[in-house]
Amino acid sequence: MTETPASAGVRIVEVATDRDGQRLDNFLLGQLKGAPKSLIYKIVRSGQVRVNGGRAKPETRLQGGDLVRIPPVRLSEPGDKGAPGKGLLEAMSASIVFEDDRLLAISKPSGIASHGGSGISFGVIETLRALRPNQELELVHRLDRETSGLMVVAKKRSALRELQALMREDPAVNGEGISKRYLTLLAGRMPDGVMSVDAPLHVNMRQGGERHVQVHREGKASLSHFRVLERRGGHSYCEVRIETGRTHQIRVHAQHIGHPVAGDPKYGDEAVNKRLREQTGLKRLFLHAASLEFALDGGRAAYLLDAPLAGELVEVLDRLS
């Protein structure tokens, strides 16, 4: 990767070949360390960021050799925010559920963001990098801050590229992508069997960079499959398999079918959330990324990664039975 000399002015950065296929917003997060995502979206949508001289969108996929114009952005010095606290470092170290020479997987606790920004100094990736200062670590995907469960971090650029390709829902890899399984508690009694929700989702950006998602005919195709595992206290403990990975997909699809995720402050039922909080102590979103299944090396290296249901969610189920 080459660039103009660092200065207070505009930089023109040439995308390295090993970044081929990376989203523009993720590329900029790497270039502008510590920048909140809201700022990244703002400078892209205002046209201050250019790719090969033209305007681009945050989701634009870059290619090796592209020239990215990055405007001057005032950020805190890297040392200004200090280091992750001992408790966070210990929690992140304890959360590792799998590791080999290509990747590591954690069971992310609820309440920890995937990365810093928007008033959050340290997320998963910053904390892992503090734990492993001499190792190159890159997020493969993200989870909502309130969601617990499996997250995969690449230790090698080759693994990152292959995993991100599997994540893209490319028809060319249909049937060979990543199988994603979640566990959730939905409000009310879901019907038996599998309920498939095929409803396009559109992301609205609100003031301050907050994302709000809704079902909209002009949104991106989104497909989720809900299956009831157990009935608990008049509610439905479900397995969810998703074929696409849209922002807030499970939460919005659950709301769309009239059975919102328990404890969801944004898309949920306020009265149900209050009753569950009083009855079971549920104080968080009941959504957990339980397993990921995929294969690297063109299908030769199979992975099946699991993260047990978070302890506080197990307690909620016990109190409902």
Using one digit for the tens of pLDDT, what is the confidence trace for 242-294?
998 898 999 999 999 999 999 999 999 999 999 999 999 999 999 999 999 99
Is the pLDDT assigned to residue 229 strictly greater than 70?
Answer: yes
Tens digits of per-residue pLDDT, 177-203?
A: 889 999 999 999 999 999 999 999 998
Rounded to the nearest 10 degrees, the angle between the axes of helix 86-94 and helix 124-131 is: 90
Q: How far apart are CA 185 and CA 208, in angstroms?
A: 30
* Average pLDDT of the chain, as a whole number: 87
Residue type, 29: L
In this prediction, residues 76-96 reach a mean pLDDT of 77
The reported pLDDT for the residue numbered 74 is 72
Task: List the catalytic residue out of 144, 170, 192, 198.
Answer: 144
Is the pLDDT assigned to residue 320 strictly greater than 60?
Answer: yes
In this prediction, residues 149-177 reach a mean pLDDT of 77
The yes or no reply on domain 2-70 and CATH 3.10.290.10 is yes
Tens digits of per-residue pLDDT, 37-84?
A: 788 888 999 999 999 999 999 989 998 889 999 998 876 544 445 678
Domain ranges of the chain: 2-70, 84-162, 176-320
Assigned token pair, 202: 């559109």
Decide if 144 is catalytic. Answer: yes
The yes or no reply on domain 84-162 and CATH 3.30.70.580 is yes
Is the pLDDT assigned to residue 3 strictly greater than 60?
Answer: no
**Which residues are CB-neighbours of 86 under 8 A, at least 6 positions away?**
none
The CATH label, of 3.40.50.300, 3.30.2350.10, 2.130.10.10, 2.60.40.420, for the domain at 176-320 is 3.30.2350.10
Burial of 143 (0-12, 13-18, 19+ CB in 10 A): buried
The model carries a pTM of 0.76
Q: How far apart are CA 260 and CA 285, in angstroms?
A: 11
Lowest mean pLDDT among 117-121, 171-175, 317-321: 171-175
For residue 164, name the pLDDT band (cuts at 50, 70, 90): confident
The reported pLDDT for the residue numbered 157 is 87
Assigned token pair, 287: 């959504």
Q: Show the DSSP H helices in 35-188 as ranges.
A: 37-45, 86-94, 124-131, 157-167
Closest CA to 92 of 146, 30, 153: 153
